[in-house]
Structure 1
Amino acid sequence: MINIVPLFWMVVNSFKTEQEYSSGPFSFPKVLQFENYAKAWEIANMNVYFFNSLIITFFSLAVTVLLGALAAYFLARFKFRLQKATYSLFVVGMLIPIHATLIPIFLIMQKIHLLDTYWSLILPYTAFHLSLTVLILEGFMRVLPKDLEESGVMDGAGVYRIFWSIIFPIARPALATVIILNFIYNWNEYLFALVLITSTELKTLPLGLANFVGVETASLTLQMAALTIALIPILIFYLLLQKQLVNGMTAGAVKG
């Protein structure tokens, strides 16, 4: 609840005039200033930044969840020679400080001519979040009963059919967890976008907001309106997946 308080007052102040905010930052607006959002959207050029963030976030999210779910399925449900080594590799991946690799990634992207493109962010986002995605999904899939696959085999289903038709739908609670975690990080990530993206037309929302604060420092209500706009997709995403997330936490508690 404590974390909600500053967010609540940010939203409240985004509907005020500058005079109202100066006279009482913790008071409610007399008249809701919806034009603050229109001004913030236009001045901050958020239509470009918002669209870029949507493309990069959702594409990275889709690739990460797809690859992570497939890798987790084979690690959890099959026995093969390098199973433990492969699992350990994903664990080690979580121990690497992400931003410590920024300079090598910059040089690699420059070498393969992907610098200042969507791919310069999509590929690192996918690589660095794959470990956590695999570990969460593998832990969920490992405890599923073997009877599920046996019934699929008896019906003539192959490995991939069993995965898509049986395992993947059952893993929705765990998928909701990794989707929310990946979405929040990809949507809010700043440092990689700052270093790897230089073109204005390719910049993401965090970069746009940082530039906006520098230009419109005097207009605090417009800044809060812009920050509220950036927060809305996260809230919508969380509300859409909230039920599955709660079910996943409940299932994990029962299994434990």
Structure 2
Amino acid sequence: MKHKIITLISQIIANLFMIMFSITCIFPLVWMLYSSMKTQQEFSLDIISLPKVLHFDNFIAAIKVGKMHMFFGNSLFNSVISVILIILIGFIVAYFLSRYNFKLRNAVYVLFLFGMLVPVHSLLIPLFIQFKVLHLLDQRFTLIFPYVAFGLPMAVFLFESFIKSTPVEIEEAAYLDGGSTSTIIFKIVMPVCRPVISTILILSFLNSWNEFPFSLILLRKQSLKTIPIGLSNFNGQYTVNYPQLMAAMVIAVLPVIIIYLLFSKRVIEGMTAGSVKG
């Protein structure tokens, strides 16, 4: 009886701790949402209290004055194209690394793994000089190159681990039935990798959507800037219109929340895939 009481108390304490932890994670999003509907005066008087009247003018100002629609479109273009290329190239490279033993196979694999260890910020100046020499600055596709380059190592690592754990017999049967290599790769193996694809999609999209340094250094045209740079425009020299900034942040975070809700069930499955070999 005493053991059951101790177990019950420990469960209650653990649940209370998790509830408090969940509240601390959710409250900033809720606070940002209702703060975006306050006036500047209401926010200055009390940053925690709820708004007396919901003001949607901040969203209109964020779009018209802050040009959030332009930054939103640029970030969406760069993120979507980068994610597609990361998934496609990463999957093809990982398939050949996991299924074929060629001379430089280990060297190529180690090279991709090494890419996960290189600090992004240490390459800002070399990349800027290289892009300047190649006349790649201030182009619509400028940011796609570094996004794909830094997203590929993680994609190759996850794809390679998962593909290596899947049975080869399925592919051999398809070969015997007359299937081509491209058919086997894209119609048989790729659908099996859906959990990993979901994981890479979310992680790559988050990295591209929230990326700041490359957008700041490699782009000078205001018409090509992305969401993180656009948010910095709401900071004035002496004052900050926080309700408008909160409205812009709500606009910026919506795609991330939507994508995470759509694919979150497969994230853990994709991250742990291949860790236990069958």
Q: TM-score, normalising length from structure 1?
A: 0.93
**Alignment partner of 1:81 out of 86, 93, 103:** 103
AA at the equivalent of 2:45: S
Structure 1 unpaired stretches of 5+: none
Query: Alpha-carbon deviation of 1:19?
Result: 2.9
- Give 4+ residue runs of structure 1 displaced > 3 Å after superposition: 215-218, 249-256
Residue 3 of structure 1 aligns to a residue whose secondary structure is helix
**Between Structure 1 and Structure 2, whose CA radius of gyration is higher?**
2
Query: Alpha-carbon deviation of 1:188?
Result: 0.7
Aligned length in residues = 256
CA contact (8 A) 2:38 2:53 kept: yes
Per-residue CA deviation, residues 14-42 of structure 1 (Å, 9 max, x unaligned), is 12222332333222223222222111111
**Alignment partner of 1:148 out of 156, 170, 178:** 170
Look up the match of 1:53. 75
Distance 2:152 2:119 in 1: 14
Look up the match of 1:6. 28
Per-residue CA deviation, residues 152-176 of structure 1 (Å, 9 max, x unaligned), is 1122112211110111111010111
Q: Answer with 54-63 or 216-225: which moved more.
A: 216-225
Residue 58 of structure 2 aligns to a residue whose secondary structure is helix
CA contact (8 A) 2:234 2:240 kept: no
Look up the match of 2:49. 27
Distance 2:154 2:274 in 1: 17
Look up the match of 1:195. 217
Q: Say yes or no: does 1:98 pair with 2:116.
A: no
Query: Alpha-carbon deviation of 1:206?
Result: 0.9
AA at the equivalent of 1:193: S
Look up the match of 1:159. 181
Residue 51 of structure 2 aligns to a residue whose secondary structure is coil
Q: Answer with 19-28 or 52-61: which moved more.
A: 19-28
CA contact (8 A) 1:46 1:208 kept: yes
The structure-2 alpha-carbon separation of the partners of 1:192 and 1:79, relative to structure 1 and needing over 3 Å to count, comes to same
Distance 2:269 2:244 in 1: 38
The structure-2 alpha-carbon separation of the partners of 1:227 and 1:56, relative to structure 1 and needing over 3 Å to count, comes to same
Look up the match of 1:121. 143
Distance 1:249 1:88 in 2: 20
Query: Alpha-carbon deviation of 1:150?
Result: 1.7
Q: Answer with 221-230 or 79-88: which moved more.
A: 79-88
Q: Say yes or no: does 1:133 pair with 2:165.
A: no
Distance 1:184 1:167 in 2: 26
AA at the equivalent of 1:163: I
Query: Alpha-carbon deviation of 1:8?
Result: 1.9
**Alignment partner of 1:210 out of 187, 212, 232:** 232
Distance 1:116 1:74 in 2: 35
Residue 143 of structure 2 aligns to a residue whose secondary structure is helix
Query: Alpha-carbon deviation of 1:91?
Result: 1.0
CA contact (8 A) 1:216 1:223 kept: no
Distance 2:104 2:222 in 1: 45
CA contact (8 A) 2:234 2:241 kept: no
Q: CA RMSD in A?
A: 1.9
Q: TM-score, normalising length from structure 2?
A: 0.86
Look up the match of 1:184. 206
CA contact (8 A) 2:196 2:273 kept: no
Q: Say yes or no: does 1:171 pair with 2:187.
A: no
AA at the equivalent of 1:55: F
Query: Alpha-carbon deviation of 1:250?
Result: 6.7
The percentage of counterpart residues that share the same residue type is 43
Q: Say yes or no: does 1:15 pair with 2:37.
A: yes
Distance 1:9 1:216 in 2: 24
Query: Alpha-carbon deviation of 1:92?
Result: 1.2
